[in-house]
Structure 1
Amino acid sequence: MPEIQVVSLRYEIEDDLSLRYGHKLRGYFANNFKEILFHNHHDNGSLRYGYPLIQYKIVNKKPFILGINKGGELITEHFLSIEKLVLDNKEYLSPGGKLSVDRELIEVDNDYDMPVYKYNFITPWLGLSQDNYRVYRSKYIKAPQEDKMNFYKSVITGNILSFAKGIDWWVEEEIKVVPSLSDITVKFKGEEMLGFTGYFFSNVYLPEYIGLGKSTSRGFGTIIREKVI
């Protein structure tokens, strides 16, 4: 059961922003800070593979940056040097930033037969890799709902394990996931992609506002938590 540091940085600006600004927020920080966790690119241009420890989101239509462990330390270290934000060629001087630092114990709760946590996706979940998408198209797109949900269950379980690996947690207990999702079309980088909205139940305690699935560093797959038991 690892204890992790979770740092959130929220900005209050005069404009309401759409989800696509998560990508622009990431670009601004990537251009201004050299540490790899801000942009996940090595000096030679190759990608840092692994769960992103700094994630850029639009939450309640405002800029939101989440840092985990070393990512959180970097946000805290640079917080006071951020005197402006530039998003889509618009400059926000002295944006009102609120920094929160928390310690959270990540664990699997098997005290009950049913999963005790409910996680709502507040941004579309891009759960399907190229391989998973091919499987979904060939086997599940017209399958009964129960079969679809079993497929989503396996994918979300894999997403949780990717997060666990990113925080150096070896999960020995069984992970339980009960999803309820609907597919939607998502516009990403000018392309239409298959995404999902909805929620899932799990026996794993996950920090709020982390992302699961693809493009979590740009704000997709962001979850909020509620305890149901």
Structure 2
Amino acid sequence: MLSHAIIKFQRLRRILGRLLAGHAETWRHLRFEFYNRPLLFRVCYLQRRTPVPGLITVITPTCGRLQTLQEAIASVDTQSYSHWEHVIVSDGMYPSLRQLAASNQESRRRFFSTPPIRHYGNHQRNVGIFQARGEYLVFLDDDNVLYPEALAAMVDGFAGGDCDLVFCPIDYDHAKHGVHGQVLMPKVGFKRGEVDSLNAMIRRSLAVQCRGWGDSYFADFDLLHQAASVAPARYLHCSPIGHHR
């Protein structure tokens, strides 16, 4: 018991030391936990809320990148599958985004904002899950785009009702990691770096069961890996359904 208390004290001392030193990552982690933990309790109640059958909720976290956000929005608007809603959640509120929300004429699109957390957009994705009305979820970052047949191709993968998670290939560029012109398609037993959130459509009930997004940079992998380990998944080898840019 004493050794356990000492370990906890040393951990607390390290955290306090980082805070006093202005450790930005520690501050972001604490902000995430402060806002996200109460939200997770509310998200659990989603299991009692019946989703709209066949409705796809596209969730987009954003952090002031207006130009690329508008391109992401346009890619949702051109979907051949029309039974969708688009939930956009801003990490902090920006004047340009406030203007965009005020001028929105699309009834299927809703805008929300959170206090500024700056932690990979993971809390904003969880807010999107809580606000979702759809049976299925797609996570579209504000700098990525969906191709016109994306939602139709992915939702077709759920035909027969024998899976809760569908993966499709995407065009994948990642300048930071020096990746250009790659087609990314996860395989059974995928590892970190072999899947992106844009690859997947997931039942809302499964995302809630897995408790949404954690606070890690690899939270997309963590969520999808856990989901694929507890529920049946389908891997569709079709044309790429979107572009990670």
For the aligned pair, the TM-score class normalised by the smaller chain equals under 0.3
Higher-helix-fraction structure: 2
TM-score (norm 1): 0.27
Query: Which protein shows a greater Rg?
Result: 2
TM-score, structure 2 normalization = 0.26
Question: Of the two structures, which has the highest relative contact order with CA contacts closer than 8 Å and spacing of 6 or more?
Answer: 1
